[in-house]
Amino acid sequence: MTDKNKKPMRRDYQAIFEKAYDLMDETIIAGNCGECCGYHCCRRIDDNGKRLGMYLLPLEYEYMQCEVVTNYDLHSQKHYTMPPKIKKLYYIYCHLTHGCLRDYRPIQCRTYPFEPHLENGAFSLVIEKEQLHDCLLIEHRSAWRQAFIDGVYNGWLELMKIPIISYYVEYFSKERIAANNMMIRYPSNGYDHPIKENITNLP
């Protein structure tokens, strides 16, 4: 690809990330759910004192977080287990002095407790059986705002227009299927997604 061709692609990916952040900017319930649980999924250390962080999606640092995030580790394929076609992932920690940079919180914070799932080319959102945070709202799904569900769902459909993200989602979906780690799937029959075409285009 020539330099001339790179610029439109960068703009396209930027627009996709910005649209996804916007679609996924809905609260899960009316009000601040963190007040019910002491901000459990925003803890900076776990019960054993281990520092907690979260992985950004491939390209999320480059397109959305590089001017915001100050505290991160760069994990490489050489030292960490990650999908074979991904060479590095950014593992970030919440801002130590300013707390949550809410307008810039990453996709992983916006989508939780849903995870994106691709199975036989069909897309759905799932809630996993194995939960690091034990979100109490999983038992109270009738209180979830439809705008949150729709926003997360449509945000992922945007993000999966980026081939490396489709690949990433499919990789972890296969692990989830192998581990039988699905409690709830929404919608139950999935949505046909042109994943094969996307992944075939990967370098």
Question: By the criterion CB under 6 A, which residues form the site for ligand SF4?
Answer: 28, 33-34, 36-37, 39-42, 94, 100, 105, 109, 112, 133, 135-137
Q: Please report how close the Cβ of residue 169 comes to ligand SF4 at its closest, in angstroms.
A: 19
Q: Please report how close the Cβ of residue 36 comes to ligand SF4 at its closest, in angstroms.
A: 5
What is the DSSP-derived secondary structure letter of residue 45? B
Instruction: List, in sequence order, the alpha helices (H) in the chain.
Output: 3-23, 34-37, 60, 107-111, 146-159, 163-178, 195-200
Q: Quick count: other Cβ atoms within 10 Å of Cβ 114? A: 22
User: How far is residue 113's CA from residue 174's CA, in Å, rounded to a whole number?
Assistant: 19
Q: Which is nearer to ligand SF4, 16 or 41 (CB)?
A: 41
With CA atoms as reference, report the closest residue to 193 among 95, 91, 122, 94.
122
Q: Which is nearer to ligand SF4, 112 or 123 (CB)?
A: 112
Q: Which is nearer to ligand SF4, 52 or 199 (CB)?
A: 52
Amino acid sitting at position 55:
Y
Q: Please report how close the Cβ of residue 61 comes to ligand SF4 at its closest, in angstroms.
A: 14
Q: Please report how close the Cβ of residue 193 comes to ligand SF4 at its closest, in angstroms.
A: 26
User: How far is residue 177's CA from residue 115's CA, in Å, rounded to a whole number?
Assistant: 13
Q: Which is nearer to ligand SF4, 147 or 202 (CB)?
A: 147
CA 72 centroid distance within chain: 17
CB within 8 Å of 166: residues ≥ 6 apart? 118, 160, 193, 195, 198, 199
Q: Please report how close the Cβ of residue 81 comes to ligand SF4 at its closest, in angstroms.
A: 22
Q: Which is nearer to ligand SF4, 3 or 47 (CB)?
A: 47
